[in-house]
């Protein structure tokens, strides 16, 4: 089995060393960068299994690093930062982060979240391709096709749509979606789900009468199939 690899982008040497020790103890091969530009260079060289990313970095901040990683692929990103306000969490998730951990943190929690994110993003090796009328959601290649044409969709939008469409007509609350798609207990504003649904609707509205992305008022959302 191939060894898991991790990239830690953190300018606090003590925190970076702590993360490195725990990740290596858990069997990861680890590279460390102390600024954003070095981190992005190592990411492009190594194609790691997962990235642990601080926000407040010299050279290039964590927001920009995350944006560049998302432009290149679907590698899982966990933001680890002292910026723990709801706005910062929402912004991080909307930019494509898979999880968000505030400092100070417990290393057992960090490792639990690392494994949870990897489980979600790897999908257990099973094909994850859903086909509906005029719609194909392919999570193996992270592609969304509408009327046979590829449509740009960020990884988190893909994951949200797949999660809803994999259980047609099931209603999910916003908190369930945050827990099952974003993968952590989220306290406060759940508008990040609404934002992602709105963006998906802009792509999907009117494509087919056989299915639709529905709001269940006072509850949450569902992928409604009329087949």
**Cβ-contact 214, 221 below 8 angstroms:** yes
Task: Between 183 and 198, name the one with better pLDDT.
Answer: 198
Of 7-11, 117-121, 162-166, which gets the smallest average pLDDT?
117-121
**Nearest by Cα to 76 from 118, 39, 34:** 118
Q: What is the mean pLDDT of residues 173-198?
A: 77
The alpha carbons of the chain give a radius of gyration, in whole angstroms, of 18
What does 71-129 look like in DSSP terms, one character per residue?
A: HH----EEEEES--SHHHHHHHHHTT-SEEEESS--HHHHHHHHHHHHHHHHGGG---E
Beta bridge partners of 33: 9
Task: Between 80 and 13, name the one with better pLDDT.
Answer: 13
Alpha helices (H) along the chain: 13-25, 36-46, 62-72, 86-94, 107-122, 155-165, 174-177, 191-204
Q: What is the CATH number of domain 5-123?
A: 3.40.50.2300
Mean predicted lDDT score pLDDT of the chain: 85
For residue 1, what pLDDT is reported? 43
Q: How confident is the model at residue 32 (pLDDT cuts 50, 70, 90)?
A: very high
Q: What is the mean pLDDT of residues 6-26?
A: 94
For residue 80, what pLDDT is reported? 86
Give ranges for CATH 3.40.50.2300 in the chain: 5-123
Question: Would you say residue 223 has pLDDT above 60?
Answer: yes
Tell me the pLDDT tens digit for each residue of 77-101: 998 887 656 556 666 666 778 888 8
Question: Would you say residue 168 has pLDDT above 70?
Answer: yes
Peptide bond into 109 cis (omega under 30): no
Which range, 120-124, 126-130, 199-203, has the best average confidence (pLDDT)?
Answer: 199-203
Residue with tokens 């690093």: 65
Of 64-68, 166-170, 190-194, which gets the smallest average pLDDT?
190-194
Task: Between 201 and 141, name the one with better pLDDT.
Answer: 201
- Residue 79 to residue 83: CA distance in whole angstroms: 10
Give ranges for CATH 1.10.10.10 in the chain: 127-225
Looking at 1.10.10.10, 3.30.70.1050, 3.40.50.620, 1.10.490.20, the CATH number of the domain 127-225 comes to 1.10.10.10
Tell me the pLDDT tens digit for each residue of 143-158: 899 998 999 888 888 8
For residue 108, what pLDDT is reported? 86
């Amino acid at each position: 089995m191939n060894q898991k690899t991790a990239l830690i982008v953190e300018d606090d040497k003590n925190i970076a060393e702590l993360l490195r020790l725990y990740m290596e103890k858990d069997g990861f091969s680890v590279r460390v960068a102390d600024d954003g530009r070095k981190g992005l260079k190592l990411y492009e060289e190594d194609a790691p299994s997962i990235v642990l990313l601080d926000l407040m970095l010299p050279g290039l901040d964590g927001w920009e690093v995350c944006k560049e990683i998302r432009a290149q692929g679907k590698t899982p990103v966990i933001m680890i930062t002292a910026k723990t306000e709801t706005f910062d969490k929402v912004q991080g998730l909307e930019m494509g982060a898979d999880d968000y951990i505030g400092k100070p943190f417990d290393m057992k929690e960090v490792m639990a979240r690392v494994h949870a994110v990897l489980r979600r993003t790897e999908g257990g090796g099973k094909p994850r391709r859903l086909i509906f009328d005029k719609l194909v959601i392919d999570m193996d290649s992270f592609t969304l096709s509408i009327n046979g044409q590829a449509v740009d969709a960020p990884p988190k939008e893909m994951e949200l749509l797949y999660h809803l469409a994999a259980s047609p007509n099931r209603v999910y609350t916003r908190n369930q979606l945050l827990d099952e798609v974003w993968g952590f207990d989220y306290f406060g504003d759940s508008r990040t789900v609404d934002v992602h649904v709105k963006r998906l609707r802009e792509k999907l509205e009117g494509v087919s009468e056989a299915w639709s992305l529905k709001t269940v008022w006072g509850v949450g959302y569902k992928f409604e199939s009329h087949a």
